[in-house]
Amino acid sequence: MTVFVTGAAGFIGYHMCEALLARGDSVIGIDNLNDYYDVALKKARLARLQQHGEFKFVLADICDGDALNRAVGKARDVRAVLHLAAQAGVRYSLINPSAYVNTNIVGQLNILEMCRRLPNLAHAVYASSSSVYGGSSVLPFTESDSVNSPVSLYAASKKADELMGHVYAHLYGIPMTGLRFFTVYGPWGRPDMAAYIFARAIFSGEPIKIFNNGDMRRDFTYVDDVVRGVLAVLDAPPSSAGGSAPHRLYNMGNNRSEPLLRYVELLEKAIGRRAEKELAPMQPGDVKETYADIKAIRRDHGFEPKTSIDEGIPRFIAWYREYHGV
């Protein structure tokens, strides 16, 4: 089938395109290649995708509805949309809030409008985030928890995406699924994420900042597990049984909350150097702990993460060494 993927040159988007192409799907990938982080990394991912004959890349911004329509063009056979483009990052939302409204809310609206005009669309899957749970102390996070108290504009924009997705599923009968990703890491990862930031600093002999004085935990989820889960979800659109809108939300995490300092220890071990740690207070918009309850996605889609951080961190560092030549 033909799959339309936004954020194709991004971290998860790149891995999803590779997986879709490997199983025989055709992919139309869109990305604006913005400079939120190193454009060279995005272009390196893209160059690998462009080696596939069934991959078509379109340079465009999801904030531009006309550009989206041109990107789809005459590809009326698009059967699935995988919307992964977003303005990511909690801390950056304090600096440039308008980027989150433009990309995550206006962009989401443009994707939804595009979806309702695709005559053969079977399913649209979009990225949400564990950030929607805010600073909740009730763990693990479950999909039935209240998500009405976000602590960052990024989280609020993702909650808005979920509400908009539900509305379009209800009004137009578009099968839609939102996935709340939990701290995804792995090869070809984002330079603004902890694994990359810490690795770069340790290799360079620079200090790393450990927020909340090290008292933090995260549900770190390896990208290969995410890829398998997204494929399973993409292939099984929700129904409107019982009169409900064909819209579902799922947590996608490792189902294990790990201490941040243990994560750092594994990075040190894989790199072979000790990190110089600078303890710092909690940052605005950040949360102390995340932990995904995955019973729903396990029940409905057989999702079962297989990769512990003990396995995943060495794989990430092996890629980092090769890519950066260190």
pLDDT in tens, 271-301: 999 999 999 999 999 999 999 999 999 999 9
What pLDDT was estimated at residue 309?
98
Q: pLDDT at position 218, please? A: 97
Instruction: Round to whole Å and give the CA distance between 206 and 208.
Output: 7
Amino acid at 254: N
- Between CA 54 and CA 19 the distance in angstroms is 12
- pLDDT number for residue 89: 86
DSSP state of 253: S
Q: How far apart are CA 29 and CA 3, in angstroms?
A: 8
CA gap 17, 58 in Å, rounded: 14
Identify residue 227 by its one-letter amino acid code: V
Q: How far apart are CA 246 and CA 237, in angstroms?
A: 8
User: With contact defined as beta carbons under 8 Å apart, do 248 and 177 qualify?
Assistant: yes
Per-residue confidence (pLDDT) for residue 25, from 0 to 100: 98
Q: Which residue has the tokens 């379109």?
A: 58
Provide the pLDDT for residue 74.
Answer: 61
171-188 CB burial, b ≥16 within 10 A, e <16: eeebbbbbbbbbbbbbbb
Residue 313: predicted pLDDT = 98
pTM for this prediction: 0.97
DSSP character at residue 281: P
Scanning the structure block, which residue is given the tokens 């110089």? 276
Please identify which of the residues 100, 126, 154, 222 carries the catalytic annotation. 154
**Polymer length in residues for the chain:** 326
CA 126/CA 133 separation, integer angstroms: 17
Q: Whose CA is closest to 138, among 288, 30, 18?
A: 288
First to last CA, the chain: 40
Question: Residue 254: its pLDDT value, please?
Answer: 98
Q: Are 124 and 115 in contact (CB under 8 A)?
A: yes
- Cis, bond preceding 314 (omega within 30 deg of 0): no
CA distance 218 to 216: 7
C-beta of residue 83 within 8 angstroms of C-beta of residue 111: yes
Q: Do 305 and 228 contact (CB within 8 A), yes or no? A: no
Residue 106 is predicted with a pLDDT of 97
* Residue 172 annotated in active site: no
CA 212 to chain centre: 24
**Domains, the chain, with CATH or none:** 2-184+221-256+291-306 (3.40.50.720)
Helix (H) or strand (E) holding 12: helix 11-22
Matching residue, tokens 């993927």? 5
For residue 220, the model assigns a pLDDT of 98
Amino acid type, 319: W
> Residue 84: its pLDDT value, please?
98
Q: Fill in the amino acid letter for 217.
A: R
Q: Which of 101, 108, 117, 244 has its CA nearest to residue 178?
A: 108
Which sign does the torsion angle of CA 85, 316, 208, 253 carry? positive
Residues with pLDDT less than 70, the chain: 74
- What was the pLDDT predicted at 90? 84
